[in-house]
Chain A
Amino acid sequence: MAEIILKIREKIGIMVEAEAISPESFAGKGKEEIEALLVWQGPEKLPLSRFFDVEASGPSASPEETRIIMQGDLSRVKRIGEGMKAGSIEIDGPAGMHLGAEMVGGSILVKGNAGSWSGREMKGGLLHIKGNCGDHVGSAYRGSWRGMTGGQIIVDGNARSQLGGGLAGGQITVEGDVENFCGIRQSGGKILVRGSAVRGVGAEMNGGAIAVCKDILQPSPGFVETGREEDPKLGEVQLEGRFVKYAGDYALSKNAKGTLYCREV
């Protein structure tokens, strides 16, 4: 296992587009080669060494054998681990937008907060965010209705709006609260929110399942109660307590196939 440490040098001004930071692009490369990888900042393409001090234990044999550790405030570094297929990234602080977007495999662990679009259109792997995160986590990007299709996202803190938008597969777990339109246009997969949601949960959903363990402040009107369950299961996850089970969203379809659990009040 080769370890590569990227330490941020100074506060970054214009956001950096760093899809070059992934086990695939680091695999087999030495310190100098990694330093020379190019990233966009505004209209300019600049080497990684412009923003990071790189330490490498030696070239890794493969992406699987590559472990990237990032230190400092990365909130202005976007697209870390985009499309990664294997290996791991550990971020010792906050991370910027599009973290792990379209990732296929491997794992990313963020010890701080993560930006919007984290795990966007993710296909596989594990994305674990220990802090809070922004909008559109695990969702489809602008214009598309197909979000995350596989893998797992865990958020230990809160998430904001449109978590799991267009979710088609995989699982998202939020330990804290979410805001608006969690699971909008969901067609598959599962979303578990241990806290509360504000409004629009499951709007236009047509498949998959959502569970909200505390309150939904303003429930969507297109959901119809289909029963009440004690300790239901959301996929593999055993929930505790009494839940109301809804089907929806009938605002979209006469034959709605989405399932929504909400803690009975």
Chain B
Amino acid sequence: MAALTGTAIIRNGSVFDPLNGINGDKKDIFIREGKVVPSLSSAEQKDSLVIDARGKTVMPGGVDSHSHVAGTKVNAGRLMRPEDHYKSVRARTALTHSGSGYTVPSVYKQGYDYAAMGYTTVFEAAMPPLEARHTHEEMRATPILDMGAYMVLGNNWFIMRYLKEGDIEKAAAYTSWMLRTHKGYGIKCVNPAGVENWGWARNVSGLDEPNIHFEVTPRELIRGLAEVNEMLGLPMSLHLHANNLGHPGNWEIARDSLMITSGMEARNKSQLEWGETQKSARRRQTVYLAHAQFSAYGGTSWRDFCSGAADLAKYINQVDDVVIDSGSVPFGPATTMTGDGPAQHDLYMITGQKWSNTDVELECGSGVLPLVYMKSSPVHSVQWAIGLEVMLLIDDPWKTIMTTDHPNGGIFTQYPQLLTWLMSKKARDDTAKECHKWAYDKSTLGGVDRELSLYEMAIVTRANPARTIGMAYRKGHLGAGADGDVTIYDIDPANLNPNDTSALTAKLARPGYTIKDGRIVARQGEIVSVPDGRRFYCQPYVDEDLEKDMLKDVKDWFKYYTVGFANYPVPDKYLKNPVAIPVNQPLEAVMRR
């Protein structure tokens, strides 16, 4: 059986493939040498792996577009939390490495746990340029998963200087050089202007508040980076971690931030072969808001804290250029880690927990702090409700992505639990009874009857994350040309009872099969093969002269770094199976000028 590597037939499954409009139809999926094809010849069929998926749910492999799984802050979380590790261990097998860690697992365990849960693609949400080598080292060591990392640029000295001067072209040149140099995938913007202020123990609180020394405002940075993003035509839009994150009443600044890019045109100028899809697989959004739960707070203090999700959702329902991921809170231990240094300090002042704080010279910062979300806590209960509200109150599932902002709101292995709440009102009501009464009193969640279907679930965990970040040319669907990444859940859609909550959670946690590139990688939660994943990054180009001009500035200012210019880039050897995505290639760049 399976003489041809990566050639498989998945027969008679109920297929959910939203980018192709397939909603539970009985269908065969053919994969030849790792890629989905319309059919296989009878000779190929003889040599292929055949899986009978009758009465089962077949979906594209899971795509996580926002997770913290590689890099220095993740490792800082591991280092400062031995207690997170000795109680969660994974023994070595003939095939797999040992591993440990519950909220911040070691790289091997992360790869296995994601794959066992049906996910095949995971993107690291925050890579400081200076820490790119470390991030790539961890991604290189992560088994199975296809990965990439977004580069943090919202408080970068060069970007702030160019945008203050209004020099979008040089900012674009710098960004394109940085993405190539550090093998980054897209632009992440964390608390724009605020993290720089944190170097002087301050933050910014309004979109038009200029920061210290650079005198640039969050609004200018968001607008500027989004323009750079669309000028270069990157696969993903600007990925925004809004200002005032984690503060009561911050839903307004989140909404106002999303308005900044309104009216801009989404332009993906990557040169790629796109798999066949019925719907457009290209992103519509010009801003992708990270972990909306942490930016959808009402009230004015922790005393009158309440959900602001309904207000934020109201705006998002009116527009077509916004996507959010939820950053939901499923309760239990978490390790908060963000590039938002001041937000982490605020958490430290509230909790008194152990806390680490880092300044990444010239570029950004970060903080790490362990946290347990408790059902008995009024605030945590509201956070739980908000994390579900942002998924349920935004009507169009193509504007939402389900995450826990792993490991900030919760850990990725809690996705099945989270999906159960989204798919069953009963599950939500049951949990609300165990929570502090603020959960329903201070949110609208109790009045929400919506329950996600399997089709919608496939949108928010596969199709939309892939489309939002520009990976839907090969991920998040099962059209011809897509990667042969498939999850087969032991769920018969004809007999699905979302109110049997523990059974649903268990089935979502341990799919019958996780298939990557046409090969079975996990079977009922057990890892059965360990291929190496790919590392995606963007190679955008701008006019050569412009780049030379920009590099002069960079070299001039490089004296402020403690690293030498020659040691700054990430060498190719740091990437295993690299996939460079060419963007805005020279000819077009020249013509544009």
8 other contacts beyond A141-B86, A143-B81, A253-B352, with CB at 8 A cut-off? A141-B82, A142-B82, A142-B83, A142-B86, A143-B80, A143-B82, A144-B83, A252-B352
**Contact pattern, B 199-214, Cβ under 8 Å of A = 1, otherwise 0:** 0000000000000000
**Contact pattern, A 127-148, Cβ under 8 Å of B = 1, otherwise 0:** 0000000000000111111000
* Cα distance A43–B354 in the bound complex, in angstroms: 33
Interface presence of B490 (CB below 8 A): no
Smallest CB–CB gap between A145 and chain B, Å? 8
Which chain B residues numbered 68 to 86 have a C-beta less than 8 Å away from chain A?
80-86
In the complex, the number of residue pairs spanning A and B with C-beta atoms less than 8 Å apart equals: 17
* Cα distance A141–B84 in the bound complex, in angstroms: 11
* Cα distance A252–B352 in the bound complex, in angstroms: 9
Which chain B residues numbered 335 to 376 have a C-beta less than 8 Å away from chain A?
352, 354
Which residues from chain B sit less than 8 Å from chain A, CB to CB? Answer: 80-86, 352, 354
Point out the residues of chain B lying under 8 angstroms from A140, CB to CB.
83
* Cα distance A253–B351 in the bound complex, in angstroms: 12
**Contact partner of A141 among B80, B83, B352, B354, CB < 8 A?**
B83
Smallest CB–CB gap between B102 and chain A, Å? 12
Smallest CB–CB gap between B497 and chain A, Å? 37
Point out the residues of chain B lying under 8 angstroms from A141, CB to CB.
82-83, 86
Point out the residues of chain A lying under 8 angstroms from B81, CB to CB.
143
Point out the residues of chain B lying under 8 angstroms from A253, CB to CB.
352
**Contact pattern, A 211-255, Cβ under 8 Å of B = 1, otherwise 0:** 000000000000000000000000000000000000000001100
* Cα distance A140–B81 in the bound complex, in angstroms: 13
Point out the residues of chain A lying under 8 angstroms from B80, CB to CB.
143
Which chain A residues numbered 99 to 153 have a C-beta less than 8 Å away from chain B?
140-145
* Cα distance A145–B83 in the bound complex, in angstroms: 9
Which residues from chain A sit less than 8 Å from chain B, CB to CB? Answer: 140-145, 252-253
* Cα distance A252–B353 in the bound complex, in angstroms: 11
Point out the residues of chain A lying under 8 angstroms from B86, CB to CB.
141-142
Tell me if A's interface is mostly helix, strand, loop or mixed. loop
* Cα distance A142–B78 in the bound complex, in angstroms: 13
Smallest CB–CB gap between A11 and chain B, Å? 28
A sample of 17 inter-chain contacts (CB < 8 A) reads A140-B83, A141-B82, A141-B83, A141-B86, A142-B82, A142-B83, A142-B86, A143-B80, A143-B81, A143-B82, A143-B83, A143-B84, A143-B85, A144-B83, A145-B354, A252-B352, A253-B352
Smallest CB–CB gap between B353 and chain A, Å? 8
Point out the residues of chain A lying under 8 angstroms from B82, CB to CB.
141-143
Point out the residues of chain A lying under 8 angstroms from B83, CB to CB.
140-144
* Cα distance A252–B354 in the bound complex, in angstroms: 12
* Cα distance A240–B84 in the bound complex, in angstroms: 43
* Cα distance A145–B86 in the bound complex, in angstroms: 14
Smallest CB–CB gap between A262 and chain B, Å? 26
* Cα distance A119–B446 in the bound complex, in angstroms: 45
Q: Which residue of A lies closest to B353 (CB)?
A: A145
Q: Which residue of B lies closest to A204 (CB)?
A: B352
Q: Which residue of A lies closest to B82 (CB)?
A: A143
Q: Residue among A141, A143, A144, A253 with the most chain B CB within 10 A?
A: A143
Q: Give the top 3 A-B pairs by smallest Cβ distance, nearest first.
A: A143-B82, A143-B83, A144-B83
Point out the residues of chain A lying under 8 angstroms from B352, CB to CB.
252-253
Point out the residues of chain B lying under 8 angstroms from A143, CB to CB.
80-85
* Cα distance A145–B82 in the bound complex, in angstroms: 11
* Cα distance A145–B84 in the bound complex, in angstroms: 12
* Cα distance A143–B84 in the bound complex, in angstroms: 8
* Cα distance A1–B354 in the bound complex, in angstroms: 47
* Cα distance A140–B80 in the bound complex, in angstroms: 15
* Cα distance A142–B84 in the bound complex, in angstroms: 10
Smallest CB–CB gap between A33 and chain B, Å? 23
* Cα distance A142–B86 in the bound complex, in angstroms: 9
* Cα distance A108–B86 in the bound complex, in angstroms: 24
* Cα distance A143–B333 in the bound complex, in angstroms: 14
Smallest CB–CB gap between A78 and chain B, Å? 13
Smallest CB–CB gap between A206 and chain B, Å? 9
Smallest CB–CB gap between B97 and chain A, Å? 15
Smallest CB–CB gap between B400 and chain A, Å? 35
Q: Which residue of A lies closest to B81 (CB)?
A: A143
* Cα distance A52–B190 in the bound complex, in angstroms: 60
* Cα distance A82–B148 in the bound complex, in angstroms: 43
* Cα distance A194–B354 in the bound complex, in angstroms: 32
Q: Residue among B80, B84, B352, B354 with the most chain A CB within 10 A?
A: B352
* Cα distance A143–B101 in the bound complex, in angstroms: 13
Smallest CB–CB gap between A185 and chain B, Å? 11
* Cα distance A142–B79 in the bound complex, in angstroms: 11
* Cα distance A140–B87 in the bound complex, in angstroms: 13
Smallest CB–CB gap between A142 and chain B, Å? 4
Q: Which residue of A lies closest to B92 (CB)?
A: A43
* Cα distance A143–B85 in the bound complex, in angstroms: 10
* Cα distance A76–B107 in the bound complex, in angstroms: 33
* Cα distance A70–B581 in the bound complex, in angstroms: 66
Point out the residues of chain A lying under 8 angstroms from B354, CB to CB.
145
* Cα distance A140–B82 in the bound complex, in angstroms: 12
* Cα distance A144–B372 in the bound complex, in angstroms: 13
Smallest CB–CB gap between A184 and chain B, Å? 14
Smallest CB–CB gap between A48 and chain B, Å? 20
Point out the residues of chain B lying under 8 angstroms from A145, CB to CB.
354
Smallest CB–CB gap between B92 and chain A, Å? 10
Point out the residues of chain B lying under 8 angstroms from A144, CB to CB.
83
Q: Which residue of B lies closest to A252 (CB)?
A: B352
* Cα distance A142–B82 in the bound complex, in angstroms: 6
Q: Which residue of A lies closest to B79 (CB)?
A: A143
Point out the residues of chain A lying under 8 angstroms from B84, CB to CB.
143
* Cα distance A143–B86 in the bound complex, in angstroms: 10
* Cα distance A145–B369 in the bound complex, in angstroms: 14
Smallest CB–CB gap between B193 and chain A, Å? 32
Smallest CB–CB gap between A226 and chain B, Å? 23
* Cα distance A145–B81 in the bound complex, in angstroms: 11
* Cα distance A253–B349 in the bound complex, in angstroms: 11
Q: Which residue of B lies closest to A43 (CB)?
A: B92
Smallest CB–CB gap between B356 and chain A, Å? 13
* Cα distance A46–B352 in the bound complex, in angstroms: 44
Smallest CB–CB gap between B77 and chain A, Å? 11
Smallest CB–CB gap between A45 and chain B, Å? 11
* Cα distance A78–B180 in the bound complex, in angstroms: 52
